[in-house]
């Protein structure tokens, strides 16, 4: 127990949040998972379908039912934009002690279904099995609002003085949070002087300790299309004269990526890794070791009686950490212009289109990268084919500010109290657009970016799960850090 937090009993905090999860939150999240509340980028008719509205209303009803002392809540709506859930809890400390605000963030919108789910699982069919709650969105990031309120209730039950707390739960994060900045602007006066941001939308290196996210990659995405014909032509008649749109696509992508190594070629897409992040990568690699690459579902195949496993790009733990957090990477996440295999005839296709997802290092400007990408891919097309790149969005990455002594101490004490291990520091390869916005708006704020997306949790993919035992301890750790904010 920290002397700066009189009356805080860490064991009681954990007991109370565990009871909240077991008696109520798991059920609430199961109901939430059953609703296909896809983000607007994946559901153009989101308003008509009403799923986002449903999950926001249900979360709001649940928060109100908790009767947290002093809490006020509203659903804020700006015309034509996805709604947000906003709550406020006044400080119980004397104003002279702390005039700063804690901002708690999460989101309720989801990624689409994806395929490959286990036969007994599905994106909208929640299943709770041995501490794991399966289904889309529970871990990314539907649990955040429930965990936030449970943490506050645990402090209230012990009458532990706390600073002012506000909550902002959006419904556009999986679409790049393009609706969020207008809300931040509209609510700026109500946000106050934010001294601590708690974002529960990130990941964990393992389930054995509290993990603080120290950086996030940025993102640029869009559709690259190569057109060479106005209609399909018999391949026996045309091949050898008409170039394949797929071969042109390969040539164009060779300008961007070395296909042998996966390294992105434009130097402007790279940046120097700060010395403190490099030191943290070495420390984290010592904790996680080869689990950094073994945790992925590699393909196995039989070769003459021997079982072979597909190989990673690197087996060095430090390099694996850096490549997934500080190195730009290209992924093709969708394709168009191809018939299904069963329907594929001997036809030279008129076009090929790829959905590109480019992950950018935390310090690279995403908007500039999009413009450079468009120029690089479109100029001087082979065979004078029509090559177009239509950007679909971009978001800057984020590098956390240096931790102050109180914050480092609070994180370590919370991790020791609830996990029996020191806090771990890890960069994440995903993107949370809000963090860059908040760092610009509140440059002195400490950023507690953490989450439940640990090994094999598989956010955005099949068989996504929420590790409930970890979520309970994370909830308790959040409560403790809030109480220790000066």
Query: How do the domains of the chain map onto residue ranges?
Result: 10-216+397-484, 218-282+329-395
Helix or strand (DSSP H, E) at 10:
helix 10-20
* pLDDT per residue of the chain (486 residues) written in tens, 0 to 9: 343 566 799 999 999 999 999 999 999 999 999 999 999 999 999 999 999 999 999 999 999 999 999 999 999 999 999 999 999 999 998 755 568 999 999 999 999 999 999 999 999 999 999 999 999 999 999 999 999 999 999 999 999 999 999 999 999 999 988 999 899 999 999 999 999 999 999 999 999 999 999 999 999 999 999 999 999 999 999 999 999 999 999 999 999 999 999 999 999 999 999 999 999 999 999 999 999 999 999 999 888 878 999 999 999 999 999 999 999 999 999 999 999 999 999 999 999 999 999 999 999 999 999 999 999 999 999 999 999 999 998 999 999 999 999 999 999 999 999 999 999 999 999 998 889 888 888 888 999 999 999 999 999 999 999 999 999 999 999 999 999 998
Give the C-alpha separation, 30 to 139, whole Å.
11
- Report DSSP state, residue 216: E
Quick one: how far is CA 355 from the chain centroid?
A: 19
* Global confidence as pTM: 0.91
Of 320, 312, 251, the closest CA to residue 282 belongs to 320
Supply the CATH classification number for the domain 218-282+329-395: 3.30.70.360
d(CA 265, CA 269): 8
d(CA 180, CA 434): 8
CATH architecture type of domain 10-216+397-484: 3-Layer(aba) Sandwich (3.40)
Alpha helices in 179-266 (DSSP H): 180-186, 188-191, 235-238, 245-254
Burial class (CB in 10 A: 0-12, 13-18, 19+), 118: exposed
Measured distance CA(148)–CA(165) in Å, rounded: 10
């Amino acid at each position: 127990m920290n002397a700066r937090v009189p009356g805080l009993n860490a064991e009681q905090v954990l007991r109370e949040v565990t009871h909240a999860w077991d008696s109520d939150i798991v059920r609430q999240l199961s109901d939430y998972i059953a609703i296909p509340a896809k983000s607007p980028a994946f559901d153009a008719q989101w308003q008509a379908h009403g799923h986002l509205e449903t999950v926001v209303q249900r979360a709001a009803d649940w928060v109100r039912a908790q009767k947290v002392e002093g809490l006020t809540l509203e659903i804020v709506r700006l015309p034509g934009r996805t709604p947000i859930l906003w709550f406020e809890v006044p400080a119980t400390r004397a104003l002279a002690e702390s005039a700063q605000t804690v901002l708690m963030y999460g989101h309720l919108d989801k990624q689409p279904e994806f395929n490959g789910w286990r036969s007994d699982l599905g994106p909208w069919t929640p299943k709770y099995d041995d501490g794991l709650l399966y289904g889309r969105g529970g871990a990314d990031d539907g649990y955040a609002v429930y965990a936030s309120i449970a943490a506050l209730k645990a402090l209230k039950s012990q009458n532990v003085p706390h600073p002012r707390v506000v909550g902002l739960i959006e419904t556009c994060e999986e679409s790049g949070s393009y609706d969020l900045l207008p809300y931040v602007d509209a609510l700026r006066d109500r946000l106050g002087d934010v001294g601590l941001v708690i974002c529960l939308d990130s990941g964990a290196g393992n389930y054995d300790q509290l993990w603080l996210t120290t950086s996030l990659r940025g993102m640029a995405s869009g559709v690259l299309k190569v057109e060479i014909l106005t209609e399909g032509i018999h391949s026996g008649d045309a091949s050898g004269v008409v170039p394949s749109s797929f071969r042109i696509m390969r040539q164009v992508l060779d300008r961007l990526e070395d296909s042998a190594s996966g390294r992105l070629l434009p130097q402007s897409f790279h940046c120097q890794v700060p010395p403190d992040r490099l030191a943290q990568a070495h420390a984290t690699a010592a904790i996680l070791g080869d689990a950094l690459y073994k945790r992925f579902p590699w393909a196995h195949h039989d070769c003459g009686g021997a079982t072979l496993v597909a190989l990673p790009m690197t087996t060095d733990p430090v390099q694996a950490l850096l490549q997934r957090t500080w190195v730009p990477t290209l992924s093709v996440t969708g394709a168009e212009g191809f018939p299904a295999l069963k329907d594929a005839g001997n036809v030279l296709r008129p076009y090929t289109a790829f959905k590109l997802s480019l992950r950018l290092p935390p310090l690279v400007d995403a908007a500039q990268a999009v413009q450079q990408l468009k120029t690089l891919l479109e100029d001087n097309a082979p065979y004078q084919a029509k090559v177009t790149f239509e950007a679909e969005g971009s978001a800057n990455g984020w590098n956390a500010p240096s931790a102050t002594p109180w914050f480092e101490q609070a994180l370590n004490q919370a991790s020791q109290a609830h996990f029996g291990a020191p806090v771990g520091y890890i960069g994440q390869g995903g993107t949370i657009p809000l963090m860059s916005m908040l760092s610009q708006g509140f440059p002195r704020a400490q950023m507690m970016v953490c989450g439940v997306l640990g090994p094999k949790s598989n956010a955005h993919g099949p068989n996504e799960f929420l590790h409930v035992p970890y979520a309970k301890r994370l909830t308790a750790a959040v409560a403790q850090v809030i109480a220790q904010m000066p």
